[in-house]
Amino acid sequence: MDCCKKPIIGTINGWAITAGCELALACDILIASTNAKFMDTHAKAQPWTGGFLPSWRLSQKLSRLVGLNRARHAHLTSMPIDSQLAEKWGLVSQVVPPIELMQTANAIAETILKNNENMVLNRKAVVNDGANMPLGEALRLEKYIAGRRQAPSKLQFRLIHSRFICSIVVVVGYKLDC
């Protein structure tokens, strides 16, 4: 799923346990219903099985999403994380009643579809690729992609610049005919 160039919107309306949790974390935008619960059960494996470690990036993605302390808490306790805690931790973008789950996801998809497709794909790539790099490298990647893929023409730059100046003037209370 990480290789998919298009945005992936995930919805969770029940339990996302272990591999289900790993799949959920691979989504670009994750919406949960109030019924959603997340749980990593890797630590619950019985000793006689030899156990198993996350292999679909759960240990790394969770810590990057919610921070090391919260990720350790989730991994080591194998306790369920309800939707409210998942939203507080930043694991999900939004929590809605179950009846509104698909409607909310569709509304987000429609909003994304109204945007410039090239820009959406570029932003997703920069964010996802940059998340796996040190900050300095990620900033260089952003600058490189911005220069290579979206450099505005002189006319576009003038239009952007004039709109920005007008916005600032309106904010400070001056009236300017733009």
Q: Give, rounded to a whole angstrom, the gap between the first and last alpha carbons of the chain.
A: 44
Of the candidates 31, 141, 48, 143, the one whose C-alpha atom is nearest the C-alpha of residue 87 is 31
Give me the mean pLDDT over the 65-79 stretch.
84
What is the model's pTM? 0.72
What residue spans define the domains of the chain? 9-113, 117-172
Please give the CATH topology (third level) of the domain spanning 9-113.
2-enoyl-CoA Hydratase; Chain A, domain 1 (3.90.226)
Query: Looking at the predicted structure, is the pLDDT value of residue 171 above 70?
Result: no
Nearest to 126 by CA among 144, 114, 110, 108: 144
Band (pLDDT 50/70/90 cuts) for residue 54 is low
Confidence label for 159 from pLDDT (cuts 50, 70 and 90):
low
Higher pLDDT, 134 or 59: 134
Q: Which pLDDT band holds residue 56 (cuts at 50, 70, 90)?
A: low
CB of 24 closer than 8 Å to CB of 10: yes
Instruction: Give the span between the Cα atoms of 108 and 111, in whole angstroms.
Output: 5
